[in-house]
């Protein structure tokens, strides 16, 4: 902190008089001779002059000592002004004098005194008035009341930092008028939020107009009944008739175009492809999760279903540990899927909790599905135990390397969703 020296008003004239004045010695009278009246008068005048000079000397000493001994060094430290915080502590160290008071004011437009415990606000300007009592060497003398010093020193350098260690703008000056007054201005960083202005009185709200009676809500229009396709190749006597139309009602399967007679065809004996298996797996997952199927075809038509399977963990992320990836399906989209590959895809279409065991089938019980036969073995056993698959004969033979036709897939789709239609395993498979 800078030092401010308050030099006193030394009076050269006074010191000149004191330095040049000669106070004569008293001469002893000659014996038997009295001093003449003129001599007595001269001696009295000299005594009066000596007393006057002594008084002036003492007064001059009082002026010099009082003026020279005011505080010559003032240090202000400990000012801290966070953007939003309590009024900072102010520590003032005075080398010759004593701290009187420290007062804080909000100084945006006019000064408003702050009480202890109030807080600084971002964007507002504050002023600290620091009053310091100087320490005189002698008591105040009436003789020098008219000669009080007024000293102004601008650009006071006081360091103030916020919580982040950044310097905050501080300006001030020293005024001497019986006291030293340090005036420090602090502008808190941040956007100003003027909370001191009184809020305008709210205008009375107009009386609400009567609300018109609400119009009756229109009755919901019934959804048009879905018309079942009349497949020309699905007869009521076929074993798969109910399974095919059950899958149609669930929104899982549809036809394969129209035949020569203009009627819809299902192609129940047609082989299921990788693309079709992925579509069914995606639709099964969405139907189980949300209760309806909203997926639409992409470009090519099966891409949206393959992407859905990849995003929901139905297809493998990589082929390192076996399984079928999205890349596999895209590259083999129109190839017929085997029964083992189909079982792997469908076993991953629903969560494990939806495929809880209905049948107790030991490992390696299925005649043609043994451990180590392929990556799809555990998936086949999952679907057998859930009552979704039961084999093609009374021994429960699966034929994992054969293709699977659309009629068999329809039955599997219905059993995946409607658990009450799941089946038991052949007796020789149950443990």
- pLDDT tens track of the chain, all 431 residues? 333 333 333 333 222 222 222 323 333 443 444 444 454 455 556 556 555 554 544 444 444 333 333 434 455 554 544 445 555 555 555 555 666 777 777 777 666 777 665 666 766 777 777 776 665 543 433 333 333 332 332 333 444 444 444 554 444 444 445 566 666 666 665 666 554 445 566 677 777 777 777 777 777 666 665 678 999 999 999 999 999 999 999 999 988 888 888 899 999 999 999 999 999 999 999 999 999 999 999 999 999 999 999 999 999 998 887 899 999 999 999 999 999 999 999 999 999 999 988 899 999 999 999 999 999 999 999 999 999 999 989 999 999 999 999 999 999 999 999 999 999 999 888 76
Tokens matching residue 420: 């009450």
Does the reported pTM lie above 0.75?
no
What lies within 8 Å, CB to CB, of 3 at 6+ separation is 72, 73, 74
Give the phi and the psi of residue 181 in degrees, each rounded to 5: -125, 120
Residue among 239, 236, 276 at smallest CA distance from 255:
276
Distance CA 55, CA 267 (A): 136
- Is residue 196 within 8 A of residue 112, CB to CB? The reply is yes
Q: Which residues pair with 101 in a beta bridge?
A: 131
Residue among 340, 328, 265, 329 at smallest CA distance from 302:
329
What lies within 8 Å, CB to CB, of 41 at 6+ separation is none
User: H or E segment at 155?
Assistant: none
């Amino acid at each position: 902190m800078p030092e401010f020296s308050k030099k006193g008003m030394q009076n050269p004239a006074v010191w000149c008089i004191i330095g040049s004045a000669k106070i004569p010695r008293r001469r002893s009278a000659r014996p038997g001779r009295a001093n003449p009246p003129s001599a007595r008068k001269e001696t009295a005048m000299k005594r009066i002059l000596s007393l006057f000079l002594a008084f002036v000397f003492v007064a001059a000493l009082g002026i010099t000592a009082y003026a020279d001994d005011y505080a010559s060094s003032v240090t202000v430290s400990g000012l801290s002004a966070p953007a939003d915080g309590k009024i900072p502590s102010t520590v003032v160290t005075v080398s010759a004098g004593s701290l009187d008071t420290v007062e804080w004011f909000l100084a945006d437009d006019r000064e408003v005194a702050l009480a202890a415990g109030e807080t600084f606000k971002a964007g507002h300007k504050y002023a600290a008035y620091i009053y310091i009592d100087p320490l005189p060497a002698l008591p105040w003398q009436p003789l020098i009341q008219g000669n009080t010093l007024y000293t102004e020193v601008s650009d006071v350098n006081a360091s103030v930092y916020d919580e982040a260690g950044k310097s905050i703008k501080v300006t001030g000056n020293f005024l001497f008028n019986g006291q030293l007054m340090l005036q420090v201005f602090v502008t808190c960083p941040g956007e100003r939020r003027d909370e001191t202005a009184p809020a305008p009185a709210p205008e009375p709200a107009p009386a609400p107009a009567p609300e018109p009676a609400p119009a009756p809500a229109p009755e919901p229009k019934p959804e048009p009944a879905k018309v079942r396709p009349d497949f020309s190749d699905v007869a009521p006597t076929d074993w798969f008739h109910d399974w095919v139309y059950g899958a149609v009602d669930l929104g899982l399967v549809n036809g394969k175009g129209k035949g020569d007679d203009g009627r819809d065809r299902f192609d129940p004996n047609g082989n299921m492809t990788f693309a079709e298996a992925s579509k069914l797996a995606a639709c099964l997952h969405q139907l189980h999760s949300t209760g309806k199927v909203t997926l639409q075809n992409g470009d090519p038509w099966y891409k949206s279903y393959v992407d859905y399977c990849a995003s929901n963990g139905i297809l493998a992320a990589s082929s390192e540990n076996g399984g079928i990836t999205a890349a596999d399906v895209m590259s083999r989209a129109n190839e017929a899927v085997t029964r083992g590959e189909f079982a792997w895809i469908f076993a991953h279409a629903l969560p494990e909790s939806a495929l809880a065991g209905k049948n107790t089938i030991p490992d390696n019980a299925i005649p043609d599905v043994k451990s180590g036969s392929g990556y799809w073995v555990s998936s086949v056993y999952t679907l057998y135990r859930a009552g979704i698959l039961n084999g093609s004969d009374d021994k429960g033979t699966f034929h994992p390397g054969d293709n699977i036709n659309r009629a068999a897939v329809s039955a599997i789709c219905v059993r995946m969703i409607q658990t009450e239609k799941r089946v038991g395993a052949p007796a020789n498979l149950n443990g």
